[in-house]
Amino acid sequence: MTAALIDGNALSKQLRSEVAQRAAALKSRGLTPGLAVVLVGDNPASQVYVRNKVKACEDSGLHSVLEKYDASMSEADLLARVDALNNDPAIHGILVQLPLPAHIDAQKVIEAISPLKDVDGFHIASAGALMTGMPGFWPCTPYGCMKMLESIGYELKGKHAVVIGRSNIVGKPMALMLLQKDATVTICHSRTADLKAQTLQADVIVAAVGRRNVLTADMVKPGAVVLDVGMNRNDEGKLCGDVDFDGVREVAGHITPVPGGVGPMTITMLLVNTLEAAERAALGA
């Protein structure tokens, strides 16, 4: 069997055009959805990420503001900027690009963002909302994975999902989202005794580790759905995921490629969250 590809670029295009339509509808009522992206320092990867986020906003008709600050910015000054953005009616979503310079407490900055504008979904209130099934913003990467499963009409109820990785931004929220859709969920991590024994039982596998070839063909049940969140470089310096794509695609039922899989979905879900924040603001929520 050769797995069907879940194309993150194609799905993103479709979702972004829906965002553009909803943004235009809001604009016609006098409200333009706005995202503020805050970058402190000159980390080259972060500069690329923020540029892509701002461009994606522009392409979908969202207003965006990029605030760039020197790496020497004090924590107090950054908190003051976040406070100003919290109170800016033109801004519905605030994203502080991580990592922050070492002298700034990133968690403190995230907690300073209003949960109503926390479109990255990293605030403790957003995490609590996800855990308890209350309305809130879901972290963009696992949210994008859920949209990918939805796009193939996958019914999670009663299925066994294995998430490899337990970070606060991918693994843990991913597991909670799958649980919310009635999957039986196993979370694996670096101390898991026998990863293969777990993954072989899975109907759905999400790999979010940051290590090449964590998942190989012999670890996958025939027909399983495999979502590859990892972003690594291979020996030729090319972007690759955590999954041995060539091997696993011969066993899996569906698989996401890297690049062109989960990656584009992450920015797309940021746009969706920003739009949602603006729609909630329009309702006076």
Q: Which is nearer to ligand NAP, 31 or 106 (CB)?
A: 106
Q: Which of 34, 121, 136, 171 binds ligand NAP (CB under 6 A)?
A: 171
Among 46, 167, 213, 216, binds ligand NAP (CB under 6 A): 167
Catalytic residue check, 47 = no
CA separation for the pair 59, 232 (Å, rounded): 28
Residue nearer to ligand NAP on the CB measure, 41 or 210: 210
| Cα–Cα distance measured from residue 267 to residue 271, given in angstroms and rounded to the nearest whole number | 7
Annotation marks residue 53 as catalytic: yes
| Contact flag: residue 262 with ligand NAP (CB under 6 A) | yes
| Contacting range for ligand NAP; rule: CB under 6 A; set: 18-26, 126-134, 207-215, 218-226 | 207-215
Catalytic one of 14, 55, 68, 97: 97
Binding mask 209-248 for ligand NAP (x = CB under 6 A): xxx--x--------------xxxx----------------
Q: Considering CB under 6 A, how many residues would be counted as binding ligand NAP?
A: 26
Q: Is 14 a catalytic residue?
A: no
Find the shortest distance in angstroms from Cβ 114 to ligand NAP. 23
Q: What is the 3-state secondary structure (H, E, C) of the chain?
A: CCCEECCHHHHHHHHHHHHHHHHHHHHHCCCCCEEEEEEECCCHHHHHHHHHHHHHHHHCCCEEEEEEECCCCCHHHHHHHHHHHHCCCCCCEEEECCCCCCCCCHHHHHHHCCHHHCCCCCCHHHHHHHHHCCCCCCCHHHHHHHHHHHHCCCCCCCCEEEEECCCCCCHHHHHHHHHHCCCEEEEECCCCCCHHHHHCCCCEEEECCCCCCCECHHHCCCCCEEEECCCEECCCCCEECCECHHHHCCCCCEECCCCCCHHHHHHHHHHHHHHHHHHHHHCCC
Q: Does 165 bind ligand NAP (CB under 6 A)?
A: yes
CB of 239 to ligand NAP, least distance (A): 10
Shortest CB 165 distance to ligand NAP, Å: 4
Report 183-202 residues binding ligand NAP (CB under 6 A).
188-192, 195
Q: Rule CB under 6 A: which residues touch ligand NAP?
A: 141, 164-167, 169-171, 188-192, 195, 208-211, 214, 229-232, 262-263, 266
Which residues are designated catalytic? 53, 97, 120
